[in-house]
Amino acid sequence: MPGTYLVDEEGNPINSINPLSTTFNIDHTFHDAATSTGNGTALTVGSLKTLTIEIYGTSASRTITFYGKGTSGTLRALMGVNLSSLTTGINTTGTGEIWQFEVTGLEYVVMDLTAVAGGNVTVKGRAVS
């Protein structure tokens, strides 16, 4: 997994904020004020379990499709939960939204910006173990 982490005597990650906790957070930017389509920067999952993303920006319209990659490397639809409406989906055209995903066992997560018009889109997330 990318990054540097504190570990205990057995090599388990330690949260630097709470040294007694073996959970940790990874902040990740998939798209940063993107004005063109693309997969953005994939998140390497490792031992992470839950991913929460926020979508925002100035675009008049946008479509983001959620994908996970397993060991085959094939992009597959990833179901998420919109935390405001509690609806589920594999994509969104909304902005100012927060989505949550179960990512245990995946290799990577990709937020594919499949359409954007009239501004930019940012997709940032926090994954926890």
Residue entry with tokens 């409406």:
85
Domain assignment present for residue 121? The answer is yes
Residue 18: predicted pLDDT: 52
Residue 114: predicted pLDDT: 97
CA angle 42/47/66 to nearest 5° reads 35
Note down pLDDT in tens along the chain; length 129 residues.
444 445 555 555 555 555 555 668 999 999 999 999 999 999 999 999 999 999 999 999 999 999 999 999 999 999 999 999 999 999 999 999 999 999 999 999 999 999 999 999 999 999 999
Assign residue 40 the CATH number of its domain. 2.60.120.40
Domain assignment present for residue 36? The answer is yes
What pTM, to 2 d.p., does this model score?
Answer: 0.82
Domain assignment present for residue 8? The answer is no
Residue 23: predicted pLDDT: 67
Q: How far apart are CA 77 and CA 69, in angstroms?
A: 9
Domain assignment present for residue 16? The answer is no
Tally of domains in the chain: 1
Contact 126, 71 (CB under 8 A): no
Domain assignment present for residue 17? The answer is no
Residue 76: predicted pLDDT: 97
Q: How far apart are CA 28 and CA 106, in angstroms?
A: 16
Domain assignment present for residue 114? The answer is yes
Contact 4, 26 (CB under 8 A): no
Model pLDDT for residues 35-65, shown as the tens digit of each residue: 999 999 999 999 999 999 999 999 999 999 9
- Per the structure, the complete domain to which residue 86 belongs is given by 23-128
Domain assignment present for residue 37? The answer is yes
Domain assignment present for residue 6? The answer is no
